[in-house]
Structure 1
Amino acid sequence: MMEQGMGFQEALEEVRRTTVFTTHTPVSAGTDVFPFAMMEKYLAHCCQDLGLDHRQFLDLGTHPQQPEAGFNTTAFALRMSRFANGVSRRHGEVAREIWGPLWPERPTEEVPIAAVTNGVHLPTWIDPHRLQPLFDRVLGPDWRERQDEPGLWDKVEEIPDEELWRLHQELKVRLIDHLHKRARPRWERRQVSAHNVIAAGALLDAKVLTLGFARRFTAYKRPDLLLRDRNRLKRLVTDPLRPVQIIFAGKAHPADTEGKRLVQEVFRLCQDPEFAGRLAFVEDYDQALASYLVRGVDVWLNNPVPPLEASGTSGMKASMNGTLNCSILDGWWIEGFNGKNGWAFGEEYSGEGDRFPADAEALFRLLEEQVVPLYYAYNGGIPKGWVRRMKESIKTVAPLFGTRRMVREYVERFYVPALGLHPNGTVS
């Protein structure tokens, strides 16, 4: 544009007019910051060709509170965008606090960073062999095209309790069988010890209440929240009348030393005979394994340090399959939780410093006093209170946390205005 005769400021405004930027994490490791010397080395010729003072360009990526830190790519993107957003309402609030210094003249609530909550693709993540045919029958064969209509999902209440529970049990058996099949060949080939085979899930039982924790392993996501009180965890999982089992899965970033240590810690605990094979760590976590887990476990655990979970999407995938979330109130769950479609904890903590002990206590109490008793409260062959929550989970999460709603929101709020279009698609 400058080659066509535009001045720098004019070209800047033209780029900004049609640019939309989404920030995906409040965690500092998610923002690339490059040394100014490196930026000058690789971009000096561009500035020279455009007749642009290099300092003028570098200022676009300079954080006012950290002027010597380097070229901040998120600060640059925010300054170069007409619209910016976080990926949940809470993340939008946090992003406005973090990046408010870029607009020192504005109060935090007026910092121009909005929020569009993430969504997931329903046809990909809802079980295609059992639940989608069920929804075809109950919601109508066009439910995929109407998925963001909340009223449509009220029909989930028409599903017989016995049928929904039976289908969930089939998905759970499918998950456990899959994990057994993964573990067995290793033992047959004598490639691993018996302890490792058990740690991979060889003793998991489809009749037992099953919790799932599967995501990237990193410190703020706290995969070890239940592990530090070993005696209490042992009592929970080995209860003779109401046992619990926990399946862990996930990988750490190669450069995340603490994340890799957490993987090792969890795996060692899963090997411990004290826990009677009720803890499992499944290796090689990928999308295929995730699909088994979100459909087959009973409860989806999520316990990051607030407010560091920008959104989270695995819990959405689980909820749409009738798997109940048990999550700290952060990210998308602040919007998704209604008191009847899962469980929340952590809201009572208001102190400073390490909240780990308080959150661990809250999660243990929630599991011991509410989750476990409800699962094992059978009436007429099924846990009716549990199934009631399953239905509430499906009908409240599916219409609001799908990609159809998310994309529509991006288009209407940002893309259409950025392109200078009217809502009907004509040029303004």
Structure 2
Amino acid sequence: MSQVDDASTAAMERVNWTETSPQTLYNKLQTLAGNLWWSWHPEVLSLFRDLDPVRWRQLDHNPIALLAEMSPEVVAKRAGEMVMYTRINQAHRRLKDYLDDMHSTWGGQNAGVLGSKPVAYFSAEFGIHESVPIYSGGLGVLSGDHIKSASGLGVPLVAIGLFYDQGYFKQHLDSDGYQQQEYLNTKVENLPMEAATGPDGKPITVSIDTRDGRLLAKVWLMHVGRVRLYLLDCDVEGNSPQDRELTARLYGGDRRTRIRQELVLGVGGVKALRSLGITPGCFHLNEGHSAFAPLEVIRARMEEDGLGFDDALREVAQHTVFTTHTPVPAGHDRFDPGLVEEHLGPLRDQLGISHEQLMGLGRVEPQNEHESFCMTVIGLKLSRRANAVSSLHGYVSRRMWAHLWPWRVEEEIPIGHITNGVHVPSWIAHPMQQLFERQLGASWRLQLEEPSVWGKVYAIDPGELWETHHALKSRLLEFVRRRLSRQCRRRNEDEASIEAARSALDPSALTIGFARRFATYKRADLFLRKLDEIAELINDPQRPVQFIFSGKAHPADEGGKSFIKKIANLRRDPRFAGRVVFIEDYDINVARHLVQGVDVWLNNPRRPLEASGTSGMKVVLNGGLNCSILDGWWAEAFNGRNGFAIGNGTQHVDDGITDERDAENLFRVLSEEVVPTFYHRDADGLPSQWIQMMIESIATLASRFSSHRMVVDYVRHSYVPAAGGLSSQMP
């Protein structure tokens, strides 16, 4: 910026200082904080950070909590010192323009049928930002990315979930490396939520009848850009003390707690929409947790239109889309007949069907009294458009659920696939955004799903890309060191351990990241099968390697906890100290730093149990390379030049043999492909072949695996046909 520009900006700030009152400025910041649109706009996010960088970090990047600690006068003084008035006014105006403009969006042009009857998107969790802890992992982050892209594309959509005032657990490891869980109450006043009101202006509370009494839930409203997210909360007067705790924790409690939560989400969610005056044209059930929803829609159609149960079911199923996310049997909720009757009995009476008929809707074999009630089965039976979340997962799902359609050959099972994607603005680092803006053009963020836009990456300057990536890697290592030293202090370790944590990891070393839910099938410990060989690889003085691990195990998953303990305790082994680290309390903030800074993202699930996997897609956007089993999304993404494959895409019938074989392949690809390519330097000191792989990865994968492309696919193949538009064949 020139001296003239500096003078002009300063003059403008002086005018703003005199013409904008502290309260007006404060109100504008509150408006920005009240819509989670800010969370994927770094230039807006920086406004809050610049007010008080230390408190911003301490408050988990929560702008509402930050503003609550500051008076309008303090905010105005700080804004003046940091020359922020113009930035705040511009951000406020941009948000208003964004919310007002629906007609010129992609959705306004291509999803008109949804304008009067929007999509109702149900999910048990939503991962939007770390300051809103109503998610646990991949499913929630996928849901958050889905509604962010619906907002950006202008797709008419409302979302329905549950409000967990204790969220998912906070994780820390004890001195033995064993995972400990802690649940903390979230302050509602520090969240961008307000009571949802009906057309009469009164707060909405819904009731759901069960055999043992009535459940009540109030409804909160959260704004995510143009999307309204409604969250049901059972902590209301009128519920029993036990039921007031029903929605306190995500994925907590026993089977009875689970079915009651899913009853509130599905049946209560539909009732909330009715109270809000919203008539959806399409119901999207994201996983089986919300699969009770169509039953309540069927009941209403029977009552309002005089339809019989079978006719109402056929009508409602035409408007219902179901997405299944897991090929792992334990991932599909199942309930015994007693729990089903206790919670669905009153609704069953209104539907006019028998207990056996209701149970049959949740069974592969309706007459099999020994089969439990499965939420995935009822989701498939009550929808006419069902999809898996990758091409391979579609194949696995058709085989898995083929018995539901015994008269069809496997290839004709009506389960298609729409491969998952990630929300580019949320996961791409700001320096990388700036680099792309220079190379791809100022409007590149408006065409995230267009391959032709990303094809311009081939012309990018290799040195500039490498320097940008290296700066992000340095930022990651600073973050990791802070977290490691904090972990040591919390465990009351000696000063030598704290100091070692502050100097862990080497900015010049090949850095491999592994972070996800520590389910046993994801095999976080696979590299331990070649421990001596890995130790030698890590400690090569010319070509060192280092690993950063993070992730949570479900509180009931002892196998996953044992994996965490094994990996975390490697710090006690001199061969791995300072080279293999474990970061506690994996969340969106930790994930963001990791995917933006690692050189390589490692993913080695037991094929074909990874339905999709989205973390590796986020790495692509920031120049990292994937090294993965050919499972989930990577099975359709890897082209031989845009990353690394572990194995050849097959698995043995014996899991033990598969694990041994994959461990061998993992070590081989690391030692023979990844490490040599990373450390090979050209005359300019650049890893030219590695950088070309980075460019190939971005150019071939960024558009294909964006959530904008994913939502476009849902609109074309599911939403518009379900709402009454032209029919379309799902991939």
TM-score (norm 1): 0.95
Q: Secondary structure at the match of 2:313?
A: helix
Cα distance change on mapping 1:421 and 1:175 into 2, 3 Å: same
Match in the other structure for 1:406: 710
- 1:294-340 Cα shifts (integer Å, max 9, x gaps): 11110000000000000000000001111000000000001111110
Residue by residue over 1:238-271, the C-alpha shift from the partner in whole angstroms, topping out at 9 and shown as x without a partner, is 1111110011011111121111111111111233
Aligned-partner SS, 2:403: helix
Q: Does 1:378 align with 2:681?
A: yes
SS in 2 for 1:226: helix
- The residue number in structure 2 matching 1:3 is 303
Residue in 2 that maps onto 1:284: 585
Which one-letter code corresponds to 1:357 in the other structure?
E
Residues 196 and 25 (structure 1 numbering): CA distance in 2 closer, same or farther, change over 3 Å? farther
- Measured in 2, the distance between the counterparts of 1:350 and 1:115 equals 22
Is the 8 Å Cα contact of residues 484 and 583 (structure 2) preserved in structure 1?
A: no
* CA distance in 1 between partners of 2:516 and 2:488 (Å): 26
| Native 8 Å contact 1:238 1:276 kept in 2 | no
In structure 1, the residue matched to 2:398 is: 96
Amino acid at match of 2:579: R
Change (3 A) 1:198 1:220: farther
Match of 2:605 in 1: 304
Paired residue type of 1:140 = G
Contact 1:85 1:115 in 2 (8 A): yes
Matches within 5 A, 1:301-340: 301-340=602-641
Tell me if the contact between 1:161 and 1:387 (Cα under 8 Å) persists in the aligned partners. Answer: yes
Distance 1:264 1:195, change over 3 A: farther
2:377 aligned partner: 75
Give the Cα–Cα distance (whole angstroms) in 1 for the partners of residues 389 and 502 of structure 2: 34
SS at match of 1:81: coil
- Residues 300 and 199 of structure 1: CA distance in aligned 2, closer, same or farther (over 3 Å): farther
Larger Rg: 2
1:365 has 2:699 as partner: no
Residues 211, 300 of structure 1: 8 Å contact kept: yes
Query: For 2:513, what is the secondary structure of its paired residue?
Result: strand
Alignment partners' CA distance in 1, 2:587 and 2:344: 37
Q: Distance in 2 between matches of 1:199 and 1:88?
A: 42
Q: Of residues 99, 109, 126 in structure 1, which corresponds to 2:411?
A: 109
The farther-off stretch of 388-397 and 178-187 is: 178-187
Q: 2:472 is matched with which residue?
A: 171
Equivalent residue for 1:152?
453
Structure 1: tracts of 5 or more residues without a match = 424-428
Aligned to 2:19: none
Letter in structure 2 aligned against 1:3: E
Cα distance, 1:186 vs structure 2? 5.0
Match of 1:426 in 2: none
Distance 1:230 1:99, change over 3 A: same
SS in 1 for 2:310: helix
Q: Supply the AA of the counterpart residue of 1:412.
A: R
Q: Contact 1:195–1:271 at 8 Å: present in 2 too?
A: no
1:174 CA drift (Å): 0.4
Change beyond 3 A, Cα 1:201–1:235:
farther
Whether 1:241 and 2:545 are equivalent positions in the alignment is no
Q: Deviations over 1:8-49 (max 9, x none)?
A: 101111110100000011111211100011111222222223
* 2:317 equivalent to 1:13: no
Looking at structure 1, the residues matched to 392 and 500 of structure 2 have their Cα atoms a distance apart, in angstroms, of: 37
Alpha carbons 1:200, 1:280 under 8 Å: kept = no
Secondary structure at 1:273 match in 2: coil
The answer as to whether partners of 1:23 and 1:74 remain within 8 angstroms in 2 is yes
Q: CA deviation at 1:184?
A: 3.1
> What amino acid does structure 1 have at the position aligned with 2:384?
R
Distance (whole Å) between structure 2 residues aligned to residue 8 and residue 366 of structure 1: 57
User: Which residue in the other structure is 1:415 paired with?
Assistant: 719
SS in 2 for 1:95: helix
Q: CA deviation at 1:421?
A: 1.6
Aligned to 2:360: 59
Distance 1:122 1:36, change over 3 A: same
Deviation at 1:145, TM superposition (A): 1.1
Greater relative contact order (Cα < 8 A, sep 6+): 1
Q: Could you report, residue by residue, the CA deviation over 1:85-136 in whole angstroms, capped at 9, with x for unpaired residues? A: 00000000000000010000001110000000000000111111x1101111
Point out where structure 2 has 5 or more consecutive residues left out of the alignment: 1-300
Give, in angstroms, the shift of residue 229 of structure 1. 2.1
* One-letter code aligned to 1:369: E
1:364-409 deviation per Cα after TM superposition (whole angstroms, max 9, x unaligned): 0111011101111111111101100010111111110001100000
* Conserved? CA contact 1:199–1:279, under 8 Å: no
Q: Per-residue deviation at 1:272? A: 1.6
Secondary structure of 1:418's match? helix
SS in 2 for 1:326: strand
Give the structure-2-normalised TM-score.
Answer: 0.56
Once the two structures are superposed, the pairs formed by residues 198-277 of structure 1 within 5 Å of their partners are 202-277=503-578
User: Structure 2 CA distance, aligned partners of 1:304 and 1:107?
Assistant: 29
Determine if the alignment matches structure 1 residue 120 to structure 2 residue 461.
Answer: no
Q: CA deviation at 1:198?
A: 8.1
Cα distance between partner residues in 1 of 2:649 and 2:630? 10
Mapping for residues 346-361 of structure 1, pairs under 5 Å: 346-347=647-648, 349-353=650-654, 354=656, 355-361=658-664
Cα deviation, residue 187, structure 1: 5.0
Task: Give the total of aligned pairs.
Answer: 422
Q: Which residue of 1 aligns with 2:350?
A: 49
SS at match of 2:445: coil
> CA 1:20–1:160 in structure 2 vs 1: closer, same or farther (change >3 Å)?
same
User: In the superposition, relative to structure 1, how do residues 201 and 99 fare at CA in structure 2: closer, same or farther (>3 Å)?
Assistant: farther
TM-aligned CA distance change 1:51 to 1:302, over 3 Å: same
Counterpart Cα distance in 2 of 1:210 and 1:281: 13
